[in-house]
Amino acid sequence: MSSRASSDAAMSLIEGYRQLDDAIFADSDNIAYEDLKLYYKIYCYILDYGR
Protein backbone atom coordinates (compact mmCIF):
# COMPACT_ATOMS: atom_id res chain seq x y z
CA MET A 1 0.00 0.00 0.00
CA SER A 2 1.44 3.36 -0.96
CA SER A 3 2.03 6.12 1.55
CA ARG A 4 -0.64 8.23 -0.14
CA ALA A 5 -3.19 5.39 -0.01
CA SER A 6 -2.38 4.81 3.66
CA SER A 7 -2.82 8.49 4.40
CA ASP A 8 -6.14 8.62 2.54
CA ALA A 9 -7.36 5.51 4.36
CA ALA A 10 -6.35 6.98 7.72
CA MET A 11 -8.15 10.25 6.99
CA SER A 12 -11.24 8.35 5.90
CA LEU A 13 -11.19 6.35 9.12
CA ILE A 14 -10.75 9.49 11.22
CA GLU A 15 -13.78 11.02 9.53
CA GLY A 16 -15.69 7.79 10.12
CA TYR A 17 -14.79 7.90 13.82
CA ARG A 18 -16.05 11.49 14.04
CA GLN A 19 -19.35 10.59 12.41
CA LEU A 20 -19.78 7.55 14.63
CA ASP A 21 -18.91 9.58 17.72
CA ASP A 22 -21.68 12.01 16.80
CA ALA A 23 -24.06 9.13 16.14
CA ILE A 24 -23.32 7.46 19.48
CA PHE A 25 -24.23 10.61 21.39
CA ALA A 26 -27.23 11.37 19.18
CA ASP A 27 -28.69 7.86 19.38
CA SER A 28 -28.21 5.28 22.10
CA ASP A 29 -28.70 2.44 19.61
CA ASN A 30 -25.86 -0.10 19.60
CA ILE A 31 -25.58 -0.08 15.79
CA ALA A 32 -23.16 2.87 15.92
CA TYR A 33 -21.00 1.01 18.43
CA GLU A 34 -20.88 -2.07 16.21
CA ASP A 35 -19.85 0.14 13.28
CA LEU A 36 -17.13 1.69 15.42
CA LYS A 37 -15.72 -1.74 16.22
CA LEU A 38 -15.69 -2.58 12.51
CA TYR A 39 -13.82 0.64 11.69
CA TYR A 40 -11.30 -0.19 14.40
CA LYS A 41 -10.70 -3.66 12.97
CA ILE A 42 -10.17 -2.19 9.49
CA TYR A 43 -7.80 0.42 10.92
CA CYS A 44 -5.74 -2.26 12.68
CA TYR A 45 -5.61 -4.30 9.49
CA ILE A 46 -4.31 -1.30 7.52
CA LEU A 47 -1.65 -0.62 10.15
CA ASP A 48 -0.49 -4.24 10.08
CA TYR A 49 -0.50 -4.28 6.27
CA GLY A 50 1.73 -1.22 6.14
CA ARG A 51 4.49 -2.84 8.20
Secondary structure of the chain in HEC code, one letter for each residue: CCHHHHHHHHHHHHHHHHHHHHHHHHCCCCHHHHHHHHHHHHHHHHHHHCC
- pLDDT(1) > 60: no
Quote the pLDDT of residue 29: 58
Gap between the Cα atoms of 18 and 29, Å rounded:
17
Number of folded domains in the chain?
Answer: 1
pLDDT band at 51 (very low <50, low <70, confident <90, very high): low
pTM across the whole model:
0.42
Quote the pLDDT of residue 42: 83
User: Rounded to an integer, what is the distance from CA 22 to the centroid of its chain?
Assistant: 13
Structural domain boundaries enclosing 22 = 3-49
- Chain segment 8-49, per-residue pLDDT in tens: 887 888 887 777 777 666 665 566 677 778 888 888 888 887
